[in-house]
């Protein structure tokens, strides 16, 4: 990996390659620091198109992919492109957010971070990169460009050329590179760096895939009682809140899995204390069989209606009708082991916690894990719901 920082022309300084990350000081690429007059050619006016999307309210805290396909006139071959993308070149943009900030819209104007770029000055150019970074990933070489916002803080990171077979392949390659770049910035300057949106554009068709983490809705306080709790319910509630507050999907998954694991252990302890009673004193727990039943199950869990499309994304076909114990052992436990080994296993780390292929599995199973944890808590401590 190398980073090339630029200095203003006329200062006598030369561009140099530095082995470590440092704040960028100088002019953005494409601008000039000399005093010679420049002629600005006004760009051709561009047309902005506002697109309104209507889709079922998704499960909050999970990643959602939205695909915008262009329709070309006539029998243009680009109309035959698959929604998943085709082999070719892609441009991938990562929109940053300040710690604990959420995106209220899809506009990149909200992009922000805790990294200030001094060389951008008081009136930075938002259309030119202030950071150029070269990154090698296996046999491939990627060029990263860093753009700032109006406050001269790093806002977006762009890889203009990613050769991939599909949208997912392009996003995975780019995420692996940009994650490494942001990790270097985080450890160098001791600040959290969060990606709020990933935008992948297919060069051949201009089709776009946007990946965002869905926000939480406001909750209306009801007439629930706060005096009916126990030390056990308070303990589990603290883990549940910790999961919802976590910005890391891996840590959120660990917390929710701990609730499932903990409830099973608590039941075993209480059953053993009942002087050898073998009867199950709690009702059987399983994901419903049908899609409509799954949507109703979600409604009962969260007190709001859910579309069957969302139910399909949460209750995957392979787990419908399956008991929670089977799902936890066969599907969730392997992910828990992998997450825990990347962070908690003793010795040297062997697995990046932000490995894209690993994160995709976490995002796929995280909603169901939260539903199972919530269902078991409602069965275990009905007095607090």
Question: Is the alpha carbon torsion for 176, 351, 370, 84 positive or negative?
Answer: positive
Per-residue pLDDT averaged across 158-180, rounded?
A: 94
Q: How confident is the model at residue 38 (pLDDT cuts 50, 70, 90)?
A: very low
Q: What is the torsional sign of CA 241, 110, 358, 316?
A: positive
pLDDT of the residue at 36 = 42
Beta-carbon contacts of residue 371 (< 8 Å; ≥ 6 apart): 297, 298, 301, 314, 315
C-beta of residue 212 within 8 angstroms of C-beta of residue 63: yes
pLDDT-derived band at 145 (thresholds 50, 70, 90) equals very high
Confidence category of residue 153, pLDDT binned at 50, 70, 90:
very high
pLDDT at 248: 85
Question: Long-range pairs for 227-231 at CB < 8 Å and ≥24 separation?
Answer: 228/383, 228/384, 229/381, 229/383, 229/384, 230/381
- On the question of pLDDT at 342 being above 90, the answer is no
Q: What is the mean pLDDT of the segment spanning 259-278?
A: 81
d(CA 329, CA 37): 70
**What pLDDT shows up at residue 49?**
59
> Strands 63-68, 16-18: parallel, antiparallel or unpaired by DSSP?
unpaired
Residues 6+ apart with CB under 8 A from 154: 96, 113, 115, 116, 117, 131, 146, 147, 148
Amino acid 14: pLDDT? 38
Q: Are 7 and 31 in contact (CB under 8 A)?
A: no
Q: Is the pLDDT of residue 266 over 50?
A: yes
pTM over 0.85: no
Which token pair is 241?
């809140």
SS3 assignment, position 177: helix
Task: Give me the percent of the chain exceeding a pLDDT of 90.
Answer: 44
pLDDT band at 61 (very low <50, low <70, confident <90, very high): confident
């Amino acid at each position: 990996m190398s980073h090339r920082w630029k200095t203003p022309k006329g200062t006598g300084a030369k561009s140099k390659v530095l082995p470590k990350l440092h704040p960028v000081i100088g002019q953005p690429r494409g601008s000039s620091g000399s005093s010679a007059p420049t002629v600005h050619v006004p760009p051709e006016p561009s047309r902005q198109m506002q697109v309104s999307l209507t889709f079922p309210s998704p499960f909050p805290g999970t990643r959602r992919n939205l695909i915008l396909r262009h329709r070309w006139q006539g029998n243009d071959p680009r109309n035959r492109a698959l929604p998943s993308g085709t082999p070719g070149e892609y441009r991938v943009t990562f929109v940053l957010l300040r710690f604990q900030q959420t995106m209220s819209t899809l506009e990149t104007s909200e992009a922000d971070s805790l990294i200030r770029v001094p060389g951008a000055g008081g009136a930075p150019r938002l259309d030119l990169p202030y950071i150029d970074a070269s990154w090698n990933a296996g046999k491939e070489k990627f060029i990263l460009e860093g753009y700032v916002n109006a406050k001269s803080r790093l806002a977006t990171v762009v890889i203009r050329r990613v050769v991939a077979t599909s949208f997912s392949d392009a996003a995975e390659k780019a995420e692996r590179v940009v994650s490494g770049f942001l990790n270097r910035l985080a450890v160098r300057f001791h600040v959290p760096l969060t990606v709020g949106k990933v935008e992948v554009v297919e060069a051949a068709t201009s089709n776009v895939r946007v990946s965002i983490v869905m926000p939480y809705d406001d909750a209306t306080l009801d007439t629930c009682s706060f005096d009916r709790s126990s030390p056990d319910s308070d303990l589990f509630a603290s883990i549940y809140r910790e999961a919802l507050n976590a910005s890391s999907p891996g840590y959120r998954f660990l917390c929710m899995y701990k609730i499932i694991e903990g409830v099973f252990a608590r039941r075993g302890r209480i059953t053993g204390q009942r002087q050898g009673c073998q009867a199950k004193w709690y009702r059987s727990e399983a994901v419903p069989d049908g899609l409509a039943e799954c949507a109703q199950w979600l409604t009962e869990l969260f007190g709001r209606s859910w579309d069957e499309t969302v139910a399909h994304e949460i209750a995957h076909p392979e787990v419908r009708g399956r008991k929670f114990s089977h799902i936890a052992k066969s599907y969730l436990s392997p992910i828990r082991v992998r997450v825990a080994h990347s962070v908690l296993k003793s010795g040297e780390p062997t697995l990046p916690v932000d490995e894209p292929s690993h994160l995709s599995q976490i995002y796929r199973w995280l909603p169901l894990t939260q539903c199972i944890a919530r269902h078991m808590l409602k069965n275990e401590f009905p007095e607090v719901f």
